[in-house]
Structure 1
Amino acid sequence: MQVPVLKHLDNGDTELHMLDLNDVIYICVENRTLVYHTVDQAYRHISTLSDWEDHLTEYGFDLTDKTNLVNISKIKKLDSKQGKLYFEEEPTSKSKFATIAFIKQKLFKNLILRAIANNKGTSLEYNLKGQGKGARLESENSLAD
């Protein structure tokens, strides 16, 4: 069996590593973290969302709030009123969802809507609403409620 762990590099960074448990000679706890020891190396257990975030952003994951690290390429719908990201186009009461913080919605709504359009294979179109200083762009798609 293999487990994902963090390998400490000489420059102080960490690297995501898949460790074969057959190579482990013992496991201990150091500073409240599991440490897997092999004959020539020690590996730290990935125990926090922050650790995962550090290594999964390059794979398209983003922290949407304090408790959710979401694969952006899987989002199909945004419910901006309830702060939910759905992974299917027509969500039901039984659908899986991840929450998104209001501030993240505000900062990244355009990026999220573009990702949803890409995930659904559609285009993201905008209409100009109003005139003068009150004019604003609004999404035409049904990607967000």
Structure 2
Amino acid sequence: MNAQTAHPLTPQDCLVALMVAVSASDEDIRTAELVKIQSAVNMLPVFADYDIDRVNRTSQMVFDLFEQEDGLDALFGLIREDLPERLFETAYALACDVAAADGSLTESELRLLEEIRYELNIDRLHAAAIERGARARHMV
């Protein structure tokens, strides 16, 4: 944890960490989910100045945390510290997009999305709109 204090996460790291967490939540990281994360980092304005090399380091941090018993709590602690509130809905939208990317939502993905909603204090109506948008974007 001390290494994290010395090198706090950037807001973009937090967004990447949540996307990776959703992808890894069912213990099956699918290609469609990785492509979704990569395209978000490459295309979205919030990542304009982001060093793409940080994606691997941030992903590894999430995997390391998930191996620990309270890893998810630790991840949310870091995100609460380093993600500005103005990006909470963006974070939830990106998490929903990754969850929807492979065309199916697993029980563990749904549970993690619920946890993210709770941790980021996303209004129920806003969450429903974000989820609906993700569903519409990933319709086949």
Q: Based on CA coordinates, which of the two structures has the bigger radius of gyration?
A: 1
> TM-score, normalised on structure 2?
0.29
TM-score computed with the length of structure 1 as normaliser:
0.29
Q: Specify which structure has the bigger relative contact order, considering alpha-carbon pairs within 8 angstroms and separated by 6 or more residues.
A: 2
Greater strand share, 1 or 2?
A: 1
